[in-house]
Amino acid sequence: MKIQIFGLGGTGLQVIDAIKATDSVQVMGWDADEQALKNCSLKEKRWIGADLLRGWGVRGDKSVGAQVFRLHEQEIKNEIKTSAIVFLVVSLGGGLGAGGLTSVINWVKEKGALPIILVSTPFQWEGVRSVNQAIQMLRELRKTGEAVFIFPADQLTKEGWAEGERADQKWSAVIEAMRQCLSGLMEMITKKGLVFSETEEVLKAITKISHGVSLQGGFGWGEGKGTHAMDEALATVIANDWLRDAATSAHEVLVAVLGGPKLALAEVKKATEFLKQHVGNENTHFIFNAILEESYEGKVKLVIWTAGVQKSETPIEAPLQESEERAPLPVSQDKAKGQELKQEAFAFETPNRGRFEKTDATFYQGENLDIPTFLRKQIRIRQVSL
């Protein structure tokens, strides 16, 4: 199966820069910033919006971003392969990627391909507009039932800042986590696992977990080498910032265990038992997939995705008000000091599945079929006016 990875905008470009293209995996960056493209080592990259912006980027304006992508509609459509799995990597707080995302998702679907989306959401100190834009976009993505993996940058600031730690270091951690998530998903899809041998099964598990990720979801990864490789990997995975809070409320958990062909089943069992003890509760549903191959000889890597359930007492995240003061930016102490804005998790409206609430949601290629078709396909229904 053909896999395509599209990085849209600056963040997308940064995340996919280190991903290796192969015969079955195409990696392509789309950006309006000429300089960013020059600095990026990707083989396939496209400069878009050159005529409109003259290489200056969209300066955070989502509507301009959308306009740029529309101008390149045909070019992008031509690149999308029919029936491919298309990963879209984007920052929802930015202008270009966020602006073009909805259109690109639709074009991917038109080609009969499956979009899987990785998004980062901004730090609070990036501004009310960016944060609200991200919240709004995530709501839309949930409404249309897309498969989305979310990386809320602000989660990394909850534990405070280490002495001398800079914002760009925090941002690098976001980029690295997205990269690890992407590569974990790729491993699951492209390599034959012990539990899932068919791509369809893997996709089903991935899309299922992705729909719960936005509801108090978590993510983590860890690696280990040598005799105690598994112990090392387990200790690292459990310490991940994005897993810490989500671990207790996890409802669904997907784990990829990557190791060499000699990795003992006892070690895999050890990992499953450890994670069952430390993540979720007695009602949590776990799915483990072990991928054993030569390139992992002598080491172990664990990648974990958790999905939570929306608690009834969790308020729907309200957009921030322009009048609210911004949280302090640690590197610029002279900036405004204000009350700490609450943005603990992106908890969004669960699409109302009505009479199907007590059933497992029916998913097909990332779409939640319990949501009325006319809503998902955005079919206009004419109403008789009173």
Partner 1 sequence: MLFRSKETTLVAVETGTSKMVVAVGHVRHDGVLKVLGLGESSSAGVRKGDVFDPKTASDALREAMAKAEENADVVIHEAFVALSGAHLECVAQRGSTMISQEKKVVTEEDIEEARDLAEEMSLPEGRCHVATLPKGFSIDGGPRVSDPVGMNGTQVEGEFLIVHGVASRLHNVMDRVRELQIDVCDFSLSPMASAEAVLTEEQKKLGALVIDLGGGLTHYAAYINGQIESLGVLGVGGDHVTQDLSRAFNLPLRLSEDLKCSQGAVVGEDRVRDEVIALKPMSGFAGKSIYRESLIKVMRARWEETLLIVKKQLGDNFLDLLSAGIFLTGGSSRTQGIQTLAETIFQLPVTLVKEHAFNGNVGELARPELSTVLGVLLLGQKRVLQERGDASLGQRFSRALKKMKFIV
Cα gap 27→275, rounded to integer Å: 33
82 in contact with partner 1 (CB under 8 A): no
Q: DSSP code of 33?
A: B
The nearer residue to partner 1, 99 or 366, going by C-beta atoms, is 366
Q: Does 332 bind partner 1 (CB under 8 A)?
A: no
Q: Find the part of the chain contacting partner 1 (CB under 8 A) among 33-41, 226-234, 318-326, 366-374.
A: 366-374
Start-to-end CA span in the chain (Å): 52
Nearest approach, Cβ of 369 to partner 1 (angstroms)?
5
Site for partner 1, residues 342 to 361, rule: CB under 8 A: 354-356, 358-360
Work out whether 379 is an interface residue with partner 1 (CB under 8 A). Answer: yes
| Contact in structure between 183 and 20 (CB atoms under 8 Å) | no
CA distance linking residue 123 with residue 101, whole number of Å: 20
Specify the residue, 111 or 326, whose C-beta has the smaller distance to partner 1: 111
What does the DSSP 8-state code read for residue 172? H
CA distance 37 to 9: 10
370 forms part of the interface with partner 1 (CB under 8 A): yes
Residue 173: Cβ-neighbour burial (10 angstroms; 0-12, 13-18, 19+) = middle
Cα 168 to Cα 109, 151, 152, 165, 344, distances in angstroms: 35, 16, 15, 9, 21
Q: Report the residue from 287, 291, 302, 307 that binds partner 1 according to the rule CB under 8 A.
A: 287
- Looking up tokens 């491919």, which residue turns up? 84
Instruction: Note whether 110 binds partner 1 by CB under 8 A.
Output: no
Q: How far is the CB of 115 from partner 1 (least distance, A)?
A: 16
Which residue from 129, 104, 127 is spatially nearest to 115, judged by alpha carbons? 104
CB-CB contact of 154 with 343 (8 Å): yes
Q: What is the per-residue DSSP string for 260-302?
A: -TT--HHHHHHHHHHHHHHSS-TT-EEEEEEEE-GGGTTEEEE
Q: Which is nearer to partner 1, 315 or 354 (CB)?
A: 354
Give the binding-site size for partner 1 (rule: CB under 8 A): 25
**Least spacing, CB of residue 6 vs partner 1, in Å:** 23
Does 318 contact partner 1 by CB under 8 A?
no
373 binding partner 1? (CB under 8 A): yes
Specify the residue, 41 or 385, whose C-beta has the smaller distance to partner 1: 385
Contact between 50 and partner 1 (CB under 8 A)?
A: no
**Cβ partners under 8 Å of residue 214, min gap 6:** 138, 141, 142, 148, 150, 346, 348
| Interaction mask 197-236, partner 1, x per CB under 8 A | -x--------------------------------------
What is the closest distance, in whole angstroms, from the C-beta atom of residue 197 to partner 1 in the complex?
A: 8
* Rounded Cα distance, 234 and 253, in Å: 15
CB of 381 to partner 1, least distance (A): 5
State yes or no: residue 383 binds partner 1 (CB under 8 A). Answer: yes
Site string for partner 1, 230-269 (x = CB under 8 A): ----------------------------------------
Q: Is 309 in the site for partner 1 (CB under 8 A)?
A: no
Identity of the amino acid at 35: Q
CA distance 3 to 110: 16
Residues 162-201 that bind partner 1 (CB under 8 A): 194-195, 198
Residue 274 touching partner 1 (CB under 8 A): no
**Choice from 277, 312, 321, 382 touching partner 1 (CB under 8 A):** 382
Amino acid identity, position 73? E
Give the footprint of partner 1 on this chain (CB under 8 A): 194-195, 198, 286-287, 354-356, 358-360, 362, 364, 369-370, 372-375, 377, 379, 381-384
